[in-house]
Each structure stands twice: as structure tokens, then as C-alpha cells.
Structure 1
């Protein structure tokens, strides 16, 4: 019987990161049952409700450890969600260190590798203490990894530049991404204000990336060969492993009869546009109005998962007691009731995207949503809001050509006429038909990536072999 190899993984409390990391662990132990995974979970207040059911019925070789919760009143008031996540991990570090020291020793049960997501990267200090390898699990694309790693160099090259990155007019040369035409405004949200604390923290994070042993990325080689090739040519002391798509499956709690799914049953095949900005995205009131009017003018069927408007695009997982539907234009629900459905706050996304009546997805381009859409062959309208979502949108629209990207006006608003035009183009136009064909081809690549000899299967074999054969001397 093969000797058990022990690894530990520390995600951040952000739901999408938690879910992706846990699905990776389940895939790992399914294909490599000689591995034992300790899943150490920092908690802000309590685990996300949508995540709790995921902890039930885990394989016996995944051991979830819920750390003592960090309470919101312990954090500075008014900090954005991303800072809350980082602070939650920082305050949990003593608990993480104590648990790892108690559970893993070189003479008892040795830890082979410690894996964190980027927001929990400070925990990788404990890998050195335990003489273990250090890896970062990236729940987004390799293109973003290439951009993250390039930003310190870009910062040095533009240190005398007086403006912001978004003011740079020429395309930025990121290794492996030359054909994408990435501009400064497409770089992740934290680097858009170079005088902000968030920018300094992001620089520290990307410099910290230089010190880890490798990256595990939720993508597939067939989507991102350029960035991976450039990484391997330029960073011979680090490894990168594309093990996607790692997507959520419907939990037992999601197998019941949701009204929105029942509504989809009554719609023609590939006739409905699914509209959702993820668990953390929101539109302003003005943009909400324009989207509503655009959907109405398009004449197409739609299922819209709507959150209450906010002046911040990134509202995180905060909840509101307000009914989002009351912020819709007057009479909108009545005028569109024969062909549209608006669902407040949340809907079972995997169930929806896998339904035969769905013909397109208007998405914020969060990577979990992107990879779910690609996995199910659903064409996209790209509507990025924050984080690295513009990078994702550039890749989808420029490299893979499986998404349309509506244009904003000079005030940063996508007006209803533009929305209607793009929706009609995707759902019934010739451009939409070509996008659908390309997405179906991409879906086939994704499906084959986990076959015997597929790119993701081999990538996981490669990193598990590295861990099994790790020499501690």
C-alpha cells in the first residue's frame, strides 16, 4: 500500500476561493487516494451559508479544520471586503501555526506541502518551519498569474511615471500575453491607485509570489499555453500546474425544485440569457436602470439574478434586508413578465448554466463563473466589475473569442442601446453563432483535459509526483 502523503491547504474566507480550493482537494484525493489533505479554514463571523453544505460527506482523507471565528467588530470599521478577508487570515495566523505545529512534525507525521490562496499567503511562513514545500492555489487564470508576477517589474519601469497605469496608452507587454493587447486599465483593481495602501499591499503580495515553490492554477493548458510557456522559460526555479477546470457541483441542498429552474423548463432551447454578477458584484442604480431597459429593448428572454444597487462594484458577501427588486424601473417586471424572470440575490448557477434553455451568460467574469460557463459551453457577454475581471474579459474576448464586451460611454455607463445590441448579437446574430461554435470547441478541450492523458490529468500527476518525491534534506 502506498505511503500516505500529507498536505495542508489554507484558503481565504472568500466564498469563491473556499469553494474552488475544496473542489480541488476533492479532485486530488479522488485521483490520488494515497494523499491526505488537511483543509484549514479561517472564518469571518461564521462559514458562508452556501459553503456549509460542502463540508458534509467529504472523503475520509480530507480533514476540515474550522478555526476560531474572527468577529467583524475586531476589524477596523468600513474596510472593503477584500481587506476583511486579508485581516481575517492575519488574525487567524497564530491558530494556524499552533495547529500545524501540533499536527505535523518531521519525526511524527511530516507535512509535505503547504498550499494557500493569495490572500492567505502569509501562512506560507510556516512551511519553512515544518520543512515543507510552499505552493499557491490560484482560483483564477494563468494570464492573471503572469500579470501579477510582472507588476513589480512594471512598477520599477514606470517609477518616474506621474500618472496611473490606466493612463498608459500603449499596450503593456506581459510575458506570454503579447497578442492580448492588455492596457493599464485592464490590470487588477488594487493597482489602479498607485498611492493607495492597497497598491503597496499588492506589490508586497506579488513580490512574495517570487519565493514560493510553485502555483496550482484553475485553468487548462489549451486555453493558456502562451502564459505557461513564458512562465516556464523565465522562472526555472518555480513550477506551474494547470489543473482545471475545478468547478462546483450541485450540492444535495441544491437538487430541489427552484422556481427559476421550473421557469426555465417552460422556455425554448437556448433562448434565455442568464444575467448574474456573482456573489460579490453590484451595479449602481443608474447602471441597473440601463441594464433593465436594455434587456427589455432586446426582446430576448432573460433570467436575471439581481442584487440591490451599490456605489461600490465590490460589495462582497454582505447581505441587505432590502428587496433588490424594488430598485427596478417602474413597470419593468410587469412589461417583461412573459419573457423574463428576476431573482433576488442568489440562484443555483450550475443548475442554470447546465439547463438546455440557456443560450448565453452576461457575467462579471469572475473566474469561477467563467470556468463554469466554459465547462458547460455557454457563450458569454463580458461585464467585468473589479479584481482581475478585466484581465479575464480581455482573454475571453481577444484570445479565445468566446465573449462579447459591451462598450461604456464617457461616464462609465453601458447604455441601454448598447446592451440591447450586444444581447441581440449574442443570442441571434451571426457573430453570436460563431462565438457559440468556438465555445463548443473550447468545451470539448475542457472535457478532454481530465481524460486519461489529458492536460489537467498530467498536470496533477506532475505536482503529486513532486510532492511524493520531495527530499527534505
Structure 2
């Protein structure tokens, strides 16, 4: 007789979100071997190679199923990729409902955990009379914004980008209105309406599982917990990061082996980040001007700020960098088209800094490896993450942008030298080391995140006992 406690997870078809929730799943079943997980994954089309590699590496105690893509033929060819995901997940709700009912009929579920961007699932869990939780792959500061934004919507009248003073979310570092996520930048737009409606649904959840840890956001966690039953309980159970890559670029790692400790700057904009052509040019010139060693994961420019599926890339990104750049910097740096083994790179002793888009996965990978950061946010909540890192934790520097939103080459060179060899960089390096140690401690056997996860599992098991009775 199967006595395992069964949990269903519902992800969204965004690689970074899926990767995070699967890392949570793997740690969950590793620490608690009497837990069984089934992950339901909506799709927007063919399944990319990166996603296939993720799910094929899962342990036997984690099942997964890909749902058939919904009909999206009515959408325009140049439909924004972020909106495409929201439409696809919305149109997949019947398939998700059918999958949950089927799983529940075979092996009674004790809880459903859904990604924070697909909270419509919470209604389905209520129909099945099953406890529901949200997996939040970002941080407590963004969760605070999500939970308090419906109240902000009722009490504030101006556009948030026009606020004269920084916004002070409870327990968080003050943040400029222009640094709030894109859906909040136009309160008359459809994205804003969808954002607020989705945030209101958070209050249907029995709890929110957050990929963060106490020492990283202690004050925010304290304030959220003081709210008691007014808001869903926030479980700080991270950091969850990918342990290693299934693919290796030996030439890239061999090049790093030849460099001095802490001498190389790593530049990458996540699993899908991309710069405009003008910004790509300025970054290239800034790298060259800085004189610092670098390894740059280069992608073709994009009008959206990100690309969809790296496995489908068919352009040579090297054609977009300034003429002669590779020849002039052949002894200074290494340019890697499209993809590099980020986990192995960030853990390499030669790496001394990281220019990052500040996606939360990349942020945590940098923290876990103790690598100081230069924040270069592109979209989503990344500007908020940059504020946490630079103004709150002070483990990063943030370059200034001009009136066109471009970081100019002189600014690029200055912040690079600052973080790699400057006096400010020394202090940042020490603070990042302390944060790394805290992250290590959080996931130890008696660490704060491990204990919090154990409390959550105990709750789930008690729900299973109640079902049997």
C-alpha cells in the first residue's frame, strides 16, 4: 500500500520558473522521502531541449506531465512573449483541472502548489476541497508588493512611476516607483488589471513558499509574519539553485583555469535576457575600456528585452558586436554565443564579479557562490531585485542609465573597475561572503530554511491523516 504523502505542483511554461519549482521539488523529496510529487506543466508549443533536460533528470519520486498546448492561432505573430505565456496558461485551465481530478482520483492529494503566475489554480483546489499553496520563485520584497498592491490600488491615484518619494513597502528597502514591475507602470493598461486580479487571488492560498532565506530578508519576513492571519503565511525555504549543468563547455572552463583568482568578470542576462543593439554596443565598448578580464555570454539583440527558446536560435550573435572587438580583446576576454555553464562558472575561483539581469535564480546563484554583482535589470521584477542588492544588502553596484535608458560605455567601464579592483568592491566582496555563509547555513540540516520546510511537510502529513479519518 502506498503511504506516501502526495503533492501536486502546477508550473508555468517559463524556463526559469519551472527550473526553480523543480529544484524545490528535488530538495523536498530528498529531505522527506515519504513525499511524492506530481508536476503538471502547461506548454505553449514544442518542448525545448532545456526543459526536456530538466525533467529527464528528476528522481523517481517526482512524476511530471506536459499538457498539450492550447490553440493560440488567433494571436498576432509579434505578440509579446510574456503575454503569450499568460494567455496560454489561462487557456490551459481546463486541462489542468482534468489532470488534477485524475491524479486525485488515483492517489488522494493532500495539497496543490501552484506557481505565483497561475493562481487561477487556487479555485480548482477549492473545488476539490484540497489545501492550496503558492510557490513563489522570487523574494519576500516582491511578495510584499503582491500582497499589498490591491490596497495600494484603492488608496493611491497617481501613476507609480510619478511618485515623488520612494515607495515604502512594509519591512522593505524604499523603492522608486519606476523600479516597480512593468505591469504597474501603466495603471490604465490591461496588464495592470491582470496583475492586480492575480494578486488578489494570493489571499485564497493557505501559504506561500518563497525561494529566499531569513538572513537575506529578515526584516521583510518579520513584518509579514506579524500580519498573522491577515495575509497568507510566508515560508522562507530557499535558496534553491540548480546544482550543476547537464551540458559542459570545456573550452570555457579551461580558459577560466588559466586566469588568476577573482580576476574575471562574468556577464550573462539569464536564460532569455537580451539587450538592444545600442546597449550591446555600449557594453562591448565599456568592457574593452575597463581593461578587466571577462567572459561574456552573448545573445542577438531583441526588441522585447528577451528571447524565447535558446535552442531555436539561428542567428550568429557575433555579427552584432562592434567591428574589431574580438581581435582587440582576444587576450582580455572570451565571448561565448548564447549559452555557458553558469553554475560551474560562478563557482570557479577565477570569477570576481557578475554583471547580471538580476533574475532571482541568477541572483541566488551569485549569492550562494559569494560573487559580487553589477546589477543590470531588464524586465519583470528585476529592478526591484537590483534595489535589494544595491541599496538593501549592499552586495552590488548599479550603473546609471542616460535619458534614453542606456548605460553608456564610460559608466560601464567605471562600475566594472569599481567592483573588480576598487575600494568599494572590497567592502561589497566582504558583505557578499557573509551572505554566502548565511545561505549555506540556511540549508544545513538544522538551518532555518530546512526547519521551515520540515514544518510545512508536517502540516501536509497532518492533512493526509485527516483525509484518512
Once the two structures are superposed, the pairs formed by residues 113-262 of structure 1 within 5 Å of their partners are: 113-159=111-157, 161=158, 164-177=159-172, 180-236=173-229, 238-251=232-245, 253-254=246-247, 256-262=248-254
- Partner SS for 2:9: strand
5+ residue gaps, structure 1:
none
**1:3 offset after TM fit, Å?**
3.6
Aligned residues: 464
**Counterpart residue number, 1:20:** 20
Q: Unpaired runs of 5+ in structure 2?
A: none
Corresponding residue of 1:290: 282
TM alignment of 1:253-332, pairs within 5 A: 253-254=246-247, 256-317=248-309, 319-332=312-325
Cα shift at 1:130: 1.7
Partner of 1:241, secondary structure, is: strand
Conserved 8 A contact 1:111-1:130:
no
Asked whether the 8 Å contact 2:213–2:449 carries over to 1, the reply is yes
How far apart in 2 are the matches of 1:438 and 1:336?
A: 31
1:59 equivalent to 2:59? Answer: yes
Output one character per residue of 1:358-384: Cα deviation in whole Å (capped at 9) or x when no partner: 110000000000000001111100011
Measure the CA separation in 1 of the matches of 2:168 and 2:4: 44
1:410 maps to 403
Q: CA deviation at 1:263?
A: 1.6
2:330 match:
337
Q: 1:85, 1:119 within 8 Å by CA — same for their partners in 2?
A: no
Match of 2:425 among 419, 424, 432: 432
Q: CA deviation at 1:341?
A: 1.0
1:154 deviates by 1.3
Given the superposition, is the C-alpha separation of residues 150 and 317 from structure 1 closer, same or farther in structure 2, using an over 3 Å criterion?
Answer: farther
- Calculate the TM-score normalised by the size of structure 2: 0.95
Q: Does 1:42 find its partner at 2:39?
A: no
Question: What RMSD, in angstroms, separates the aligned Cα atoms of the two structures?
Answer: 1.7
Distance (Å, rounded) in 2 between the aligned partners of 1:48 and 1:199: 30
Q: CA deviation at 1:235?
A: 4.2
> Structure 1: which 4+ aligned runs deviate by more than 4 Å?
none
In the alignment, the residues of structure 1 paired with residue 10 and residue 379 of structure 2 have an alpha-carbon distance, to the nearest angstrom, of 24
Deviations 1:269-314 (A, max 9, x none): 1111000111221111111111111100000001111111123223
Distance 2:71 2:262 in 1: 45
1:86 aligns with 2:78: no
Bigger Cα displacement from structure 2, 283-292 vs 358-367: 283-292
